[in-house]
Amino acid sequence: MLVTTSHRVPAGLLTVLGQVVDLRKRRGVWHRLAAVLSIAIAATLARTRSFAALAEWAADARTMC
């Protein structure tokens, strides 16, 4: 997918994920869907194999920033 600019530049991951339609109900949504998806992708690339491992990876990554 390309972002429309004067030059044809590949879109960044957050730009593409920002175009995903969020079907979650507004009540209880604390984080933007693009952020949640990007963390899930990064954790998957880090070889997490469960939701619990993904959550632990995300918590560890947050303390590193």
Q: Would the pTM count as exceeding 0.75? A: no
- Summarised one tens digit per residue, pLDDT across range 49-64 is 999 999 999 999 877 7
- Tokens found for residue 43: 């954790």
Measured distance CA(62)–CA(50) in Å, rounded: 18
Average pLDDT over residues 2-17: 68
Average pLDDT over residues 13-38: 88
What integer pLDDT is reported at residue 14 of this predicted model? 87
